[in-house]
Amino acid sequence: MALDNLTAYDPERHKQLPVEKDYINYFKLYLVIVAAILSSAFIIFLLSSTLTYFAFKDFELYMSKVFNTPAQTQYKAQHSSGLQSDLNKLNQAATSFVSKPIKTVSAAEKQKLAARKNDLEICKFWTTQYKKDKSASSSMHRDTSCKRANQY
């Protein structure tokens, strides 16, 4: 009986399902490739920086043994002496700056500064007045007051 079912061909029973076309989503493929490249670059960066760190640390230890000087102490001593000299230079510059006498403005100079300020205000006034009315008298006053203000 089992053999009868195998040999008998029933075309209805063996119909194929409709085949859907396989479309490749190129955007997803692009994202997967970019993610793979970025993650591998990050892993390479981590490994190389770790390797470099330990290599320099070992090199520093080796050099300190060769020259019989502790590397960290020598490095700190260099920096502290350089720092001390920089602090001394800044201190000298600050004391020389403070020790300079402050320039005092005399009464005549104050009067000249006040006159200049007044002349500039008059020049600005006549400039705005000329822009408003465009008259010949405003133009004349503007020219003379601005000439006097720029005289100093």
pLDDT at 75: 55
Determine the Cα–Cα distance for residues 152 and 145; give it in Å rounded to an integer.
Answer: 12
Q: Per the domain annotation, does 4 fall within a domain?
A: no
94 and 32 together in one domain: yes
Backbone angles phi, psi at 104, to 5 degrees: -95, 140
Residue 145, pLDDT > 80, answer: yes
55 and 94 together in one domain: yes
Q: Per the domain annotation, does 9 fall within a domain?
A: no
Q: Give the number of other CB atoms < 10 A from CB of residue 123.
A: 20
85 and 111 together in one domain: no
88 and 37 together in one domain: yes
pTM confidence score: 0.33
Q: What is the mean pLDDT of residues 98-114?
A: 74
- Which domain does 74 fall in, by range? 26-99
Q: Per the domain annotation, does 137 fall within a domain?
A: yes
Q: What is the mean pLDDT of residues 52-67?
A: 86
Q: Number of folded domains in the chain?
A: 2
Q: What is the mean pLDDT of residues 27-51?
A: 96
94 and 47 together in one domain: yes
138 and 73 together in one domain: no
Q: Identify which has the larger pLDDT, 83 or 143.
A: 143
93-117 residues labelled b (16+ CB within 10 A) or e (exposed): eeeeeeeeeeeeeeeeeeeeeeeee
Q: Per the domain annotation, does 11 fall within a domain?
A: no
127 and 88 together in one domain: no
Residue 19, pLDDT > 60, answer: no
